[in-house]
Structure 1
Amino acid sequence: MAINNVNNNGVNKTPLDNNKVGSQQNQNQTAVQQQAAAKSQTVTAPRQDSVSLTQSAQQLSQVQKKSAEAPFDQEKVDKLKKAVESGSYRVDPESLARKIAQLEAQVFGLKS
């Protein structure tokens, strides 16, 4: 005696057709392979990297260029270097403080 439709709550289900299932699986595999081939053949443009500088970075760059081009007295630098090395160079603290205050006034736009 054959028992059909056990645990189907009385609903008749059609039996699976193995040929049909195999055909659908083959179609799905073919579609996936075609998509992969199309994706690999798609030519993508090389990515272009870019850099943008903030306004303050641009200003800093300009200041650095100007300072590199600024002339200086090499003879004076050598003389000061020898004085520091020999220990004969003395700093006047009042003059230094006055010059620092003047520089800050120029930088921050204050009156000295």
Structure 2
Amino acid sequence: MTVNNVNNGNQKPQLENQRLNQQQAQNQTAAQSTAKQAQAAAAPRQDSVSLTQSAQQLSQVQKKSTDAPVNQEKVDKLKKAIQNGEYRVNPDVLAQKISTLEAQIFGIKD
């Protein structure tokens, strides 16, 4: 014996309840997404900067150089010698001093 229409058409309210529940879930998800976006927009962004060790050392060297006393008499004497073409550079001494400075900056031992 076959029974048809057991619920006498009561399946419609169940389908409507399922659709309503789905719509409510979608609305909640949309509301949560909007709230998160509003929080992200309201929260201040924090930028950060990080310097490499070499950059930090260079910054320290620059600070030391601005704090160092200047012998203005010697500077003027060198300027005059350069302008007159009398200043001579010893390339070997210059290369050694550059090498020493780089070793100090980058922490390399000779």
Amino acid aligned to 2:20:
N
Tell me if 1:100 matches 2:103: no
Aligned length: 91
Specify every segment of 5 or more residues in structure 1 that has no aligned partner in the other structure, as ranges.
1-16
Amino acid aligned to 1:38:
Q
Report how far residue 105 of structure 1 moved: 5.1
CA distance in 2, matches of 1:72, 1:29: 78
Pair member with larger Rg? 1
CA distance in 1, matches of 2:87, 2:81: 11
Amino acid aligned to 1:55:
Q
Aligned to 2:61: 63
Name the structure, 1 or 2, with higher relative contact order (CA <8 Å, separation 6+).
2
Tell me if structure 2 keeps the 8 A contact 1:80–1:89.
no
Residue of structure 2 aligned with 1:89, choices 71, 85, 92: 85
Q: Give the 5 Å matches for 1:1-112.
A: 20-39=14-33, 40=35, 43=39, 46-81=44-79, 84=82, 87-93=83-89, 96-104=90-98, 106-107=100-101, 108=103, 110=110
Tell me the percent identity: 48
Specify every segment of 5 or more residues in structure 2 that has no aligned partner in the other structure, as ranges.
1-10, 104-108
Report how far residue 106 of structure 1 moved: 2.8
